[in-house]
Chains A and B, each alone.
Chain A
Amino acid sequence: MQFNPCMKHKLIRNSARHFAEAELAPIAAEIDQQRIFPRDVIAKMGELNYFGLQVPKEYGGAALDSISAAIVVEEISRVCAAVGLCVTVHNGVAVYPFLQFTNASQKEKYLPQLAAGNAIGAFSLTEANAGSDAGSVETTAVKNGTDYILNGTKIFVTNGGVCDVALIFALTSSPDNKLQSSVFIVESKFPGFLRGELEDLCGMRANPVSSLFFEDCPVPEENLLGKQGDGMKIGLTTLDNGRIGVAAQALGIAQGAMEAAVKYAKERQQFKKPIASQQTIQNYIADMATEIMAARLLLYRACELKDAGAAFGCEASMAKLYCSTVASKVTSLAVQIHGGYGYSKEYDVERYFRDARVTEIYEGTSEIQRMVIARAILSQQMM
């Protein structure tokens, strides 16, 4: 385990930071308020491998290690969490299953365009009656000749409004007529693939989160991901990975909020001196910095396990739980340090505060993370 960043990780962080500050910082507030998905910046990011962070070179990816990929998500989210969300969902839960579960022809067909960012990916499990309870999916996929016919509605789909390829969880029937969960690669151009209105959310507003409707949508059988009935396995493994990404995103938001608060605390004068000279503000800053550092080490630990090929689900949940909790706390303190200005859209911390909140909810709520962690701990031999 390494506690200091190596030269490669430093350079990757500098590179992503430079890009985010040059290309995203000037527009982050506006695209949040106007709910604009910044397609021109996304196109530039595609050329620089932001959408194929861990995809092997032969499919046009950057083949980065997991810490590098987390650093990239951190740095984009430090400036613009909604674009960070697009990147982390695309890489973490839309592309990752292609690397783990698809056959050669599926990889051949989809990975190059996903890795280049020419196709934006989505992952869609959640329905009106299925969220934390992933087993209650109601969307159906009925075999008809060489196609499966999809019917159902998915909600809160990150990247939903712009995705070109979505992984859809649906119920199929086993030969003995039992219902089982399966995953399908569905292209937005398939007939019967319909998008809902964009959600009007509290935060992450530049991400085109929407519902997806499937009305007799035919999906060729070669677009079944893995085998019929693999849904639960694919879903759980993918979410483990997605949690690393959301942890990185939450960490980036926390880092951005802390930097904004530190800058403000040094500038803002009250009682004829900067508020940073007040012990209360210093205590806030000390807590923020300490918890961000702890969150980062926990996250990189999960990344390291993943790259070593070890089980990382429990650590991914710990990282996701802790990073998102820290993000909510740090952004709240950042607003507090800004006082009334922090509650105004004039300052970025108001956006960070709204963006942080959902990191405790999506990709498994904090309550679900605790369940995953407790199960892992309780199933081990008592120490």
Chain B
Amino acid sequence: MLNIVVCIKQVPMVTELPWDEKTGTLRRDLAAGMMNPACKRAVEAALQIKEKQGASITVMTMGPPAAEEVLREALAMGADRGIFICDPILAGSDTYATSFILAAAIQKEASGCDLILCGAYTSDSETAQVGPQLAEELNIPAAAYAEHLDISGRILRVRRLVDNFRETLEMEFPALVTISMERYEPRYASFAGLNKAFMETDIPVLNAEALGITAANLEARGSRTKVRRVFIRKTQKENVMITGAAAIAAGEFLDRYQRAISAVIGKSIEAEKQA
């Protein structure tokens, strides 16, 4: 039977959250959390493999205490086991640190697993980096943005749409695949499933120490990125009325937009005028 690990993430439920100007991170505390949509499709992909040929599904997440919720939801959908990585010293990890920590957790709790699935990207940061970086950490083949998986024996065929080309990749287990938003429409969790996920299932919590991660490790393998500045991009539209006699108005139009017009026609109006 296949052993599948699905790495999932909790994201804020709304699309626009205020930033914390000091730290440059989202004020996640201001919104209810939900399972990242692409991660939910990765869980669905795992469940469909399980239904077709049998598999044991472990779902894993790292996050603050509230993130446990997405593991419960994945269990309610039909996953078999949840692993929760939660430790304040791991807070604020970037994708580089996150993939290092996830790799440590997989090696500890799901060593020898056949297939690792991730969402292709998250709705809050959209880096799409954790999946491929995790494959590097574990030194296994990976394919990103998959829309369909087909398994025969130990061979995995991954269909994906990249740059408007549909391609099929083939690899052997163990492998890592990130699931795009194209297919694998996730199922609803039933209330019986939700109740069971809360009332009858224990989820072990792993802290940094349990994963063998020390302050020294984090020094070496911790976050490499720093958010220097965050800002909300403002777009504005403005209607400009140029009035007056045609010749004067045309002149004013050229003066006002000469840079934009030059860019379009490929030569400098300024130079033209001077000539």
A and B together in one complex: yes
- Report which A residues bind B (CB closer than 8 A): 7-8, 10-12, 14-15, 18-19, 44, 47-50, 52-53, 57, 60-64, 68, 72
Closest-CB distance, A171 to chain B (whole angstroms): 38
Residue of B nearest to A63 (CB): B195
User: How many A-B residue pairs lie within 8 Å, measured between CB atoms?
Assistant: 56
Stretch of B19-27, B104-112, B153-161, B186-194 contacting A (4+ beta carbons < 8 Å): B186-194
User: Once bound together, how far apart are the Cα atoms of A8 and B68, in whole Å?
Assistant: 11
In the complex, the answer to whether B66 meets A7 with C-beta atoms within 8 Å is yes
Q: A14-B32, A14-B34 are in contact. Are A8 and B194 (CB under 8 A)?
A: yes
Offer 20 A-B interface pairs, CB within 8 angstroms, sorted by A. A7-B198, A8-B194, A8-B198, A10-B32, A11-B69, A11-B76, A11-B198, A14-B13, A14-B34, A15-B188, A19-B188, A48-B190, A48-B191, A52-B192, A53-B191, A57-B192, A61-B192, A62-B195, A63-B192, A68-B195
In the complex, the answer to whether A49 meets B192 with C-beta atoms within 8 Å is yes
Closest-CB distance, B184 to chain A (whole angstroms): 16
B73 at the A interface (CB under 8 A): yes
In the complex, the answer to whether A11 meets B192 with C-beta atoms within 8 Å is no
Residues of B within 8 A of A53 (CB): 191
In the complex, the answer to whether A18 meets B188 with C-beta atoms within 8 Å is yes
Closest-CB distance, B170 to chain A (whole angstroms): 35
User: Once bound together, how far apart are the Cα atoms of A53 and B191, in whole Å?
Assistant: 7
Q: Can you list, as one digit per residue, whether each of B165-190 has a CB less than 8 Å from chain A (1) or not (0)?
A: 00000000000000000000000111
Closest-CB distance, A26 to chain B (whole angstroms): 16
Q: How many residues of B contact A (CB 8 A)?
A: 17
Residues of B within 8 A of A18 (CB): 188
Residues of B within 8 A of A14 (CB): 13, 32, 34
Q: A7-B198, A11-B73, A14-B32 are in contact. Are A50 and B68 (CB under 8 A)?
A: no
User: Once bound together, how far apart are the Cα atoms of A44 and B191, in whole Å?
Assistant: 13
Q: A7-B198, A14-B34 are in contact. Are A64 and B73 (CB under 8 A)?
A: no
- Further contacts, 13 of them, CB under 8 A, given A10-B32, A49-B190, A62-B194: A7-B69, A8-B195, A11-B198, A14-B34, A15-B191, A15-B194, A18-B188, A48-B189, A49-B191, A49-B192, A60-B192, A68-B191, A72-B191
User: Once bound together, how far apart are the Cα atoms of A7 and B194, in whole Å?
Assistant: 11
Closest-CB distance, B7 to chain A (whole angstroms): 20
Residues of B within 8 A of A57 (CB): 192
B72 at the A interface (CB under 8 A): yes
Closest-CB distance, B47 to chain A (whole angstroms): 15
Closest-CB distance, B64 to chain A (whole angstroms): 12
In the complex, the answer to whether A12 meets B194 with C-beta atoms within 8 Å is yes
Residues of B within 8 A of A68 (CB): 191, 195
**Which secondary structure characterizes the binding site on chain A?**
helix
Residues of A within 8 A of B192 (CB): 49, 52, 57, 60-63
Residue of B nearest to A65 (CB): B195
Residue of B nearest to A6 (CB): B198
Q: A15-B188, A15-B189, A48-B188 are in contact. Are A10 and B69 (CB under 8 A)?
A: yes
In the complex, the answer to whether B195 meets A7 with C-beta atoms within 8 Å is no
User: Once bound together, how far apart are the Cα atoms of A44 and B66, in whole Å?
Assistant: 29
Closest-CB distance, A70 to chain B (whole angstroms): 13
Residues of A within 8 A of B188 (CB): 15, 18-19, 44, 48
Among A11, A18, A62, the one with the most B-chain Cβ atoms within 10 Å of its Cβ is A11
Among A44, A52, A53, A62, the one with the most B-chain Cβ atoms within 10 Å of its Cβ is A62
User: Once bound together, how far apart are the Cα atoms of A8 and B198, in whole Å?
Assistant: 7
In the complex, the answer to whether B191 meets A62 with C-beta atoms within 8 Å is yes
Among A44, A48, A60, the one with the most B-chain Cβ atoms within 10 Å of its Cβ is A48
Residue of B nearest to A53 (CB): B191
Closest-CB distance, B180 to chain A (whole angstroms): 20
In the complex, the answer to whether B191 meets A50 with C-beta atoms within 8 Å is yes
Residue of A nearest to B200 (CB): A57
User: Once bound together, how far apart are the Cα atoms of A79 and B72, in whole Å?
Assistant: 25
Closest-CB distance, A13 to chain B (whole angstroms): 9
Residues of B within 8 A of A12 (CB): 191, 194
Residues of B within 8 A of A15 (CB): 73, 188-189, 191, 194
Residue of B nearest to A57 (CB): B192
Residues of B1-36 whose CB lies within 8 A of A: 13, 32, 34
In the complex, the answer to whether B191 meets A64 with C-beta atoms within 8 Å is yes
Residues of B within 8 A of A48 (CB): 188-191
Residues of A within 8 A of B66 (CB): 7
Residue of B nearest to A8 (CB): B198
Residues of A within 8 A of B76 (CB): 11
Residue of A nearest to B68 (CB): A7
Residues of A within 8 A of B190 (CB): 47-49, 62
Residue of B nearest to A47 (CB): B190
Residue of A nearest to B66 (CB): A7
Closest-CB distance, B67 to chain A (whole angstroms): 10
In the complex, the answer to whether B191 meets A11 with C-beta atoms within 8 Å is no
Residue of B nearest to A13 (CB): B32
User: Once bound together, how far apart are the Cα atoms of A68 and B194, in whole Å?
Assistant: 11
Q: A47-B190, A48-B188, A48-B190 are in contact. Are A11 and B195 (CB under 8 A)?
A: no
Closest-CB distance, B14 to chain A (whole angstroms): 13
Residues of B39-84 whose CB lies within 8 A of A: 66, 68-69, 72-73, 76
Closest-CB distance, B43 to chain A (whole angstroms): 14
